[in-house]
Amino acid sequence: MKNSHLASLLLSVVFISKLASGQLLAAEEQKPESQKVATGGHAEKVRTLGIFLFPSFELLDAYGPLEMWGNLKGRVKVVTIAREKGPVTSSQGPKTIAEFGFKDCPPLDLILIPGGFGILNILNDSETLAWLRERSATAEITMSVCNGASLLAASGLLDDRPATTNKAFWSRATTPWPNVKWVKRARWVDDGNMVTSSGVSAGIDMTLHVIERLFGKQTAQDLANSTEYEWHREKSWDPYAELHGLHDSK
């Protein structure tokens, strides 16, 4: 009888233990991604991506990548930044609210610089260039779309590094910065902590590439599928370099 009672007690303990484990697992699965416990007992890191806005920025340069980043809720937090917080008018007219200015901008893991004709007005702005240098020094990856690369070049962040930009305005966007190793035929160029893309829609392909780097191929492909976007995976796919008569000397 004693042995039977002991066996029943042990079975009860095992059952309660399994039940508790199952309840804890279920509770864990219901948490936001940012609160889940990853392997090793550490909470998954939530990266903060800051997009820098300036008057006459190109809408798709900004919102194409943000469509992808913004769907990584619990993994990436997106914030908007300008020299001064408040509404910023795009090249196409609609305004976007900058949540932060340079002075109260939070720490950034990822930085995105869109392009647009407004870039030409800030290439010599010492405050903007200093802020970009300071923040890029501590960011995991700094990205640019279109002639946003010109701002990175003006700040000195692309000196002696490969980069690309919009092919329709190639000469204007590259000539002032001969120290950059400009790549004419490229949808995007990945140089570690600096990733630059060609014009406008190319920023979406670049973004999916960076997301693949950080979160894996399946996550990037799922985003492309859910947005019904035909992802150009090959970085050298660049019919627009050919269209505008650009050929790398090598």
CB 243 within 8 A of CB 192: no
Q: By the 8 A CB rule, do 42 and 105 touch?
A: no
146, 152, 153, 208: the catalytic one is 146
DSSP assignments along 56-75, one per residue: TB-HHHHHHHHHHHTT-TTT
- Burial group, residue 66, by CB count within 10 angstroms (0-12, 13-18, 19+): buried
**Beta-ladder partners of 86:** 98
User: What length is written for the chain?
Assistant: 250
Residue 212, CA distances (Å) to 27, 52, 125, 208, 231 in order = 28, 22, 34, 6, 12
- 146 an active-site residue? yes
Tokens describing residue 215: 């979160």
The C-alpha angle 88, 206, 204, rounded to 5 degrees, equals: 55
Largest CA distance in the chain: 92
Instruction: Report the catalytic residues.
Output: 146
